[in-house]
Structure 1
Amino acid sequence: MGIAGIPWWTTDIGGFHGGNIHDPKFHELLIRWFQWGVFSPVMRLHGNRDPQILPAQPYRDGIAQCPTGAPNEVWSYGEEVCDVLTGCLALREKLKPYIKALMEETHKHNTPVMRPLFFEFPEQETSWAITDQYCFGPDLLIAPVMHEGMRERDVWLPEGKHGRILRPVKAIQEGRRCSTLRH
C-alpha cells in the first residue's frame, strides 16, 4: 500500500469478525498477526470476538448491527499469549523514535513506511522477485511468518553489512535466500 501512495494504513489484528478467544489455532494466528503488526504503520488490535456475549440483532433502523463480542484485550487470551503480545507491545514502544522518524520522512518525502525490497535494494536482482518480505523503513528487513504451524522459514538477506538479527539464525549466506530462522 505504501508504494501506491497510501502510507498510513492498518489491519484489524485478528480480523474484525470471529476468532474464538479460547481456540489455540486463533491464538497462533493472533500472535503472528500481532508480531507482524509491530512492523506496520499503524498497530491496532481490533475486532468482534467469539463467543458472542449478547445475541445478534441483524438490523436496526436498516443498519446491520454487531453484537457484543468476547473480550479482546491482550490479557483476554491467557497468560502465555498475553506474555507474547506484551513483548510485542514493548518492542513497538522501543521502536517509537524510529517509527516517528519514518512518519516524518513519509510526510516530507512521500517515501513509504513499508517498502518492497526493491525500494531499498534496487541493484540486487533477487529483491525484485521476493513478495513475502519487506523493509520497515530503511533499517529493518521484515520476514513475517504467515502459515499455520510454521516454525521456521527461509529469509533472503541482501548483500552487504547487517546489524542485529532478532531471531536465532542457523545459516547465513548474503545475497541468497538461504537463512533459516526458528520461531
Structure 2
Amino acid sequence: MQQLQSGAKSEGSGLGSRQQASEDEEDCEGRGEMPCPTCNAGQEHGFYKANQMTRCSACYGRGLLAHQDGSDTVKTLSTKKVSATRGAASVPEEVFHTAQGVQLCNIQAYQCTPAFFADSYQLNQFSSEVVASRLPVPPAARVISERHIISVVPVIRVTMANRKQCFSFYVVGYSRDVFIRDYPSKFCWGLCCCFEWLRN
C-alpha cells in the first residue's frame, strides 16, 4: 500500500544585502569609512548631510573615498534564509535549501518591498514578514542593494506498508531527492533499489 501526500514549501532567501565596506583604516579612525570631503565638508566624522551622499565627483557617488589601490571592496555581508512549510514539516531546513524548486519572485533593489501575488494571501503575508525582519547594517558598511527571492519546493510524502509495519519517506524538489529520517540507523528493509528507481 502506498499513500501519496503532496506538500509544498515556500522558501524565501530573506533579504541578502550587498553592503560596501572599506578595509583601508588610514585616516578614518578605524571605522572603515571616510566622509566625502566635497559634499560633507566641515562635518564631524560619522555625521553626514542628508540627501548629499550620491554622485560625488570625489567618491563616485558612494559616500566613501574611492581607494584606487583596490582596497575598497564590495562583498555580501549578510544573508538570511527563512522557510514556511505546509504538509512537509518533517523535512529539515537544509534539505529544502538545497532542493530544486520554482522561483516565484526575484526582486533586487536598494530597499526591497514585499512581493505581491494576486492569488495567494499566504505568500503575500510570508513576503511581508521576511522583508520586515531585515538584518541590521553594520556600522562600517552601507547597503548597496537588497535581493528578495521566493521559491516553492514541491514535496511528496510516500507511506509504504508491509503487513502491520509501515514507514514514510519524502520526495523533495524537482530533482526528486529522497529523504528518510534516521536512515539507515534504525532500519533498512533492502529498499535502496526502490529509492534509486524513484530518483531516476
Which of the five TM-score ranges fits, normalised by the shorter chain? Answer: under 0.3
Structure 2 length normalisation: TM-score? Answer: 0.23
Which structure would you say has the larger RCO, counting Cα contacts within 8 Å and 6 or more residues apart? 2
Task: Report the structure number with the largest CA radius of gyration.
Answer: 2
